[in-house]
A and B are shown apart, each in its own frame.
Chain A
Amino acid sequence: MTSLPKTAPKKKLGLVIDLDICVGCHACAVNCKEWNTSGKSAPLTDLNPHGKDPDGVWFNRIHTYETMNDTGESRTVHFPRSCLHCDDAPCVTVCPTGASYKREEDGIVLVNEDICIGCKLCSWACPYGARGYDETEGVMKKCTLCVDKIYNKNLPEESRVPACVSTCPTGARHFGDLNDPGSDVSKLVAAREGYALMPEQDTKPVNRYLPPRPKQMQTVDQTPRALIHEDTSSDAAPLLARWVDKILSV
Chain B
Amino acid sequence: MHPAKSVIYFTVATGAGYGLFFWLALLAFLGVLPADKFMGFVMLAIAFGLIVTGLISYTGHLGRPERAWRALSQWRSSWLSREGIMAILTFIPMGIFGIYWVFLGQNTGFTALVGLVGAGMALVTVFTTSMIYASLKAIPAWYNIWTKIGYLVLSLMSGAVLTLALVSAFGLDELALFLLLPVAVLLLLGLVAKVFYWRHIHAGRVVSTAESATGLGRFGKVSQAASPHSADNYLLKEMGFKIARKHAAKLRWIAIVFGFVLPFAIIGLTANFIEIRDLAAQIFMGIAAASCILGLVFERWLFFAEAKHVVTLYYGETKV
Q: Which residues of A contact B (CB under 8 A)?
A: 1-4, 19, 24, 26, 29, 52-58, 61-70, 73-77, 79, 81, 90, 92-99, 115-121, 123-129, 132-135, 137-140, 195-202, 209, 211-212
Contact B74–A198 (Cβ < 8 Å): no
Contact A200 B212 (CB under 8 A): yes
Stretch binding the partner chain, chosen from B24-32, B226-234, B267-275: B226-234
Instruction: Given contacts A65-B224, A94-B136, A125-B138, list 9 more A-B pairs with CB under 8 A.
Output: A63-B226, A64-B224, A75-B219, A96-B72, A117-B63, A118-B63, A123-B238, A139-B63, A211-B216
Interface residues of B (CB under 8 A from A): 1, 62-65, 67-68, 70-74, 76-81, 84, 132, 135-139, 207-208, 210, 212-216, 218-235, 238-239, 309-311, 314
**A79-B214 contact given A63-B227, A97-B71, A124-B239, CB 8 Å threshold:** yes
Q: Is the CB of B71 within 8 A of A117?
A: yes
B87 to chain A, nearest CB (A): 12
A-B contacts, 30 of them at CB < 8 A, read: A2-B78, A54-B230, A55-B234, A61-B228, A64-B226, A64-B228, A65-B216, A65-B224, A66-B222, A68-B220, A68-B223, A70-B220, A79-B216, A90-B137, A94-B79, A97-B73, A116-B64, A116-B67, A117-B67, A120-B63, A121-B80, A127-B137, A129-B239, A129-B311, A132-B235, A133-B234, A197-B212, A198-B213, A200-B207, A212-B219
Contacts of B136 in A (CB 8 A): 90, 94, 124-125
CB-CB under 8 A from B218, the residues of chain A are 211
Nearest residue (CB) in B for A57 is: B234
- Bound-state CA distance A201–B132 (Å) is 17
Q: Are B219 and A129 in contact (CB under 8 A)?
A: no
Chain A residue with Cβ nearest B79:
A94
**What residue in chain B is nearest A138 (Cβ atoms)?**
B63
How far apart sit A62 and B213, CA to CA, in the bound complex (Å)? 14
Which residue of B208, B222, B309 contacts A200 across the interface (Cβ within 8 Å)? B208
Residue from B65, B80, B223, B230 within 8 A of A66 (CB atoms):
B223
The 6 A-B residue pairs with the shortest CB-CB distance, nearest first, are A118-B63, A138-B63, A69-B220, A129-B311, A67-B219, A53-B231
Q: Which residue on A lies nearest to B235, using beta carbons?
A: A129
Tell me which residues across on chain B come within 8 A of A69, comparing CB atoms. 219-221
Complex partner residue of B310 from A81, A138, A201, CB under 8 angstroms: A201
Is the pair B208, A123 in contact by a Cβ cutoff of 8 Å? no
Whole-angstrom CA separation of A90 from B34 in the bound complex: 49
| Residue in chain B with minimal CB distance to A80 | B228
Of all chain A residues, which has the CB nearest B1? A124
- Chain B residues with CB below 8 A from A124, complex form: 1, 136, 138-139, 238-239, 309
Known: A119-B71, A133-B238. A198 touches B310 (CB 8 A): yes
- Collect the chain A residues with CB atoms within 8 Å of residue B213's CB: 127, 197-198
